[in-house]
């Protein structure tokens, strides 16, 4: 039965901070996810700034990023909002992964977007910016439910336990929907072979 298949999910944390609240949110999502999802963080902190001059000969960091994305069935973005958009480090990683032209690692890769912020609208504007970028990168996106989590002190423990049951249930439902979305996309849209 398809739902019994394990799907590998690579996740990006948009903040580089070791004590990022979005990193803690990622721990909560993993704790609450269906058992058939297996998670691996795709690190972005060591990537140099992308520029076209690298395209003929990608550095090791760029190759490792593309290989990490290639090895998973879907990607999850857990990101803060910086100045009404996504953090520069996350945009840089997406630029690396989508290049060189014709070798876009996100094509046909199911994705979901979520984030937390102390602000009352969570990371809504950053998520819209990220969705626009992912659309151009040909990544099928889970459009609902949307996950705009307003962070409050004590909402998560350091290990990712969620102290508010309604938030925990929302995140549990979000991850179950993501699993169902991955299955739907993988059923009708084959993964593209890695080119690099």
Give residue 189's pLDDT: 83
In contact, 129 and 91? CB cutoff 8 Å:
no
Domain boundaries, the chain: 7-188
Indicate the fold that domain 7-188 takes in CATH.
Answer: Rossmann fold (3.40.50)
Q: Residue ranges of the chain with pLDDT lower than 50?
A: 1-3
Taking only the tens place, the pLDDT of each residue in 72-104 is 999 999 999 999 999 999 999 999 999 998 899
- The 8-class DSSP code of residue 151 comes to P
CB 77 within 8 A of CB 12: yes
Per-residue DSSP letters for 50-118? P-GGGTTS--HHHHHHHHHHHTSSEEEEE---BTTB--HHHHHHHHHHH-STT--TTTT--EEEEEEES
For residue 162, give the DSSP letter. B
DSSP state of 35: T
For residue 2, what pLDDT is reported?
47
């Amino acid at each position: 039965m398809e739902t019994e298949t394990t799907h590998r999910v690579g996740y990006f944390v948009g903040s580089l901070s070791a004590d990022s609240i979005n990193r803690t949110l990622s721990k909560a999502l993993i704790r609450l996810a269906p058992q058939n999802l297996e998670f691996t963080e795709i690190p972005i902190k060591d990537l140099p700034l992308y520029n076209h001059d690298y395209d003929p000969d990608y550095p090791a960091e760029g190759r490792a990023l593309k290989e990490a994305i290639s090895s998973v069935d879907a990607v999850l973005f857990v990101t803060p909002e910086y100045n009404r958009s996504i953090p520069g480090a996350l945009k840089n990683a997406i630029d690396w992964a989508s290049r060189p032209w014709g070798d876009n690692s996100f094509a046909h890769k199911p994705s979901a977007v979520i984030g937390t912020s102390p602000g009352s609208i969570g990371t809504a504007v950053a998520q819209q910016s990220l969705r626009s970028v992912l659309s151009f990168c040909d990544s099928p996106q889970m459009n609902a439910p949307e996950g705009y989590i307003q962070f409050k002190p004590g909402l998560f423990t350091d290990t990712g336990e969620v102290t508010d049951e309604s938030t925990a249930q929302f995140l549990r439902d979000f991850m179950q929907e993501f699993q169902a979305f991955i299955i739907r996309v993988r059923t009708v849209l084959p993964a593209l072979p890695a080119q690099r």
